[in-house]
Chain A
């Protein structure tokens, strides 16, 4: 999963540490039970994670902007070419802007029947869902923005993200 180069970034945050591996383009949530304090610039309790199951009411923090890996750094270097970061390090979290991502659940935001712009929800595994009022919203999943396009043959679509 990845982000295409085309993006328009309005707001981003460099304050969040990571607790699990994740790819770019997925929606992340604040780690449960972790509470940053004060400015939280270098606070280990300001941590985001990729929820395998997105519980009802869990709020989204933003879209992960860097690939987070788990390597044995005493033997294997971080890839300097593709912006890899080791789990436990900080990641870039996009909050507002337009991004082209393929972190879209299969079957979502597809087909000519989709009216645009269409609400985009964060769901299981940090994937984006269009869903319906009876599905995504009823599951208590947060709306993170809107789909501006439908998915192409590679599975990418443009999302306008708008998170606080």
Chain B
């Protein structure tokens, strides 16, 4: 980090360095402590939100396009029996069976944000304030995109009206049986039969950190001792903790009892869980890029607000235009524990 000091600050730093070398041990130790604390600025740095959604959705560049259209299949899920072959007599015309297509469009919307500060603060702050302001501004957009994306996924899950739970488990306990039940329900409710192409399959399971760490508490009634030993010695990125029954397990801080997305599910979506269960888990089928879409019409553009300079301020604003869609709710399956 580059330190640029004005004259007063240079004098203060010189005094501090002289005191750090003082023959008086008490004075020297105090000055040395002040130097050590002064290096890691700014203090009490907030931890900003990171991206937890764009690895779920497929970003699609629609800049320059007015409409975002996706064609739908000629038959809807559940209509397969309308096209079953049947016995026919020796004479007579086989009836017609008309199909037609359909399409849907994904609407986009604009989001914006800004950040500004006094010019005097920029001048006297003695650390790269502008860089940090841009980080905060960017994090604001990341947080908004996280929330909108996951709220779309949760809405699709609620719309499907299926919630899976392990009746043998205690409330709030994550069990291997919950994973296998989710796998079965995902397969059963995705259509097709045992030899169908493109059958639904549970590929990812998102849960709270508290649920995820239940794995370390699994007893012999849930997993064999050899597996328990592996789990005991595994770090948090070990396969024994992040992949079970060929399903990727992911812990997200926004899920869990009384956490942000759990509250959104309960309060905004009026979602329900099995009696005495405390939190939801989200199962996804991400075999194909045919459902989780994030089209954007305008990428994040950042501008400096020149009008603020006259007011002794420095400001930056930004905006982008994007949309979210879960085009096939069969790719989402909710569970509870």
Q: Which residue of A lies closest to B113 (CB)?
A: A41
Report the minimum CB–CB distance from A153 to chain B (whole Å): 37
Report the minimum CB–CB distance from A157 to chain B (whole Å): 32
Which of these binds chain B: A18-26, A53-61, A74-82, A106-114?
A74-82
Which listed residue (B104, B107, B268) contacts A78, Cβ 8 A?
B107
Q: Which of B51-104 contact A (CB under 8 A)?
A: 66-67, 103-104
A43 to B103, CA, bound (A): 32
Note all chain A residues with C-beta closer than 8 A to B268.
44
A117 to B208, CA, bound (A): 62
Secondary structure at the B interface, as helix, strand, loop or mixed, is: mixed
A77 to B144, CA, bound (A): 24
Report the minimum CB–CB distance from B216 to chain A (whole Å): 37
Total residues of chain A contacting the partner, CB 8 A:
11
B105 on interface, CB distance cutoff 8 Å: yes
Note all chain A residues with C-beta closer than 8 A to B105.
73-77
Note all chain A residues with C-beta closer than 8 A to B67.
77
Report the minimum CB–CB distance from B102 to chain A (whole Å): 9
Q: Which of A44-98 contact B (CB under 8 A)?
A: 44, 73-78, 80, 86, 89
Knowing A77-B67, A80-B66, say if A89 contacts B109 (CB, 8 Å): yes
- Is B104 touching A74 in the complex (CB atoms < 8 A)? yes
Quick one: which of A74, A77, A78 has the most chain B CB within 10 A? A74
Total residues of chain B contacting the partner, CB 8 A:
9
A122 to B103, CA, bound (A): 43
Note all chain A residues with C-beta closer than 8 A to B144.
42
Report the minimum CB–CB distance from A147 to chain B (whole Å): 32
Report the minimum CB–CB distance from B103 to chain A (whole Å): 8
A89 to B108, CA, bound (A): 11
A47 to B166, CA, bound (A): 40
A77 to B268, CA, bound (A): 26
Which listed residue (B66, B104, B109) contacts A75, Cβ 8 A?
B104
A75 to B109, CA, bound (A): 16
Note all chain A residues with C-beta closer than 8 A to B66.
77, 80
Which listed residue (A42, A44, A73) contacts B107, Cβ 8 A?
A73
Note all chain A residues with C-beta closer than 8 A to B107.
73, 77-78, 86
Q: Which residue of B lies closest to A80 (CB)?
A: B66
A78 to B297, CA, bound (A): 14
Note all chain B residues with C-beta closer than 8 A to A73.
105, 107
A74 to B109, CA, bound (A): 14
Q: Which residue of B lies closest to A90 (CB)?
A: B109
A111 to B153, CA, bound (A): 58
Report the minimum CB–CB distance from B104 to chain A (whole Å): 4
Mask of B258-273 contacts with A, CB within 8 angstroms, 1/0: 0000000000100000
Note all chain B residues with C-beta closer than 8 A to A44.
268
Note all chain A residues with C-beta closer than 8 A to B109.
89
Report the minimum CB–CB distance from A63 to chain B (whole Å): 21
Note all chain A residues with C-beta closer than 8 A to B103.
75
A3 to B67, CA, bound (A): 27
Q: Which residue of B lies closest to A73 (CB)?
A: B107
A140 to B285, CA, bound (A): 57
Q: Which of B110-167 contact A (CB under 8 A)?
A: 144
Report the minimum CB–CB distance from B149 to chain A (whole Å): 15
Q: Which residue of A lies closest to B67 (CB)?
A: A77
Note all chain B residues with C-beta closer than 8 A to A75.
103-105
Report the minimum CB–CB distance from B130 to chain A (whole Å): 23
A44 to B109, CA, bound (A): 16
Note all chain B residues with C-beta closer than 8 A to A42.
144
Note all chain B residues with C-beta closer than 8 A to A80.
66
List residues of chain B with CB under 8 Å of any chain A CB.
Answer: 66-67, 103-105, 107, 109, 144, 268
Closest 8 CB pairs of A and B: A74-B104, A73-B107, A77-B67, A74-B105, A77-B105, A73-B105, A78-B107, A80-B66
18 A-B residue contacts at CB 8 Å?
A42-B144, A44-B268, A73-B105, A73-B107, A74-B104, A74-B105, A75-B103, A75-B104, A75-B105, A76-B105, A77-B66, A77-B67, A77-B105, A77-B107, A78-B107, A80-B66, A86-B107, A89-B109
Question: Known contacts A75-B103, A75-B104; can you find 16 more A-B pairs with CB under 8 A?
Answer: A42-B144, A44-B268, A73-B105, A73-B107, A74-B104, A74-B105, A75-B105, A76-B105, A77-B66, A77-B67, A77-B105, A77-B107, A78-B107, A80-B66, A86-B107, A89-B109
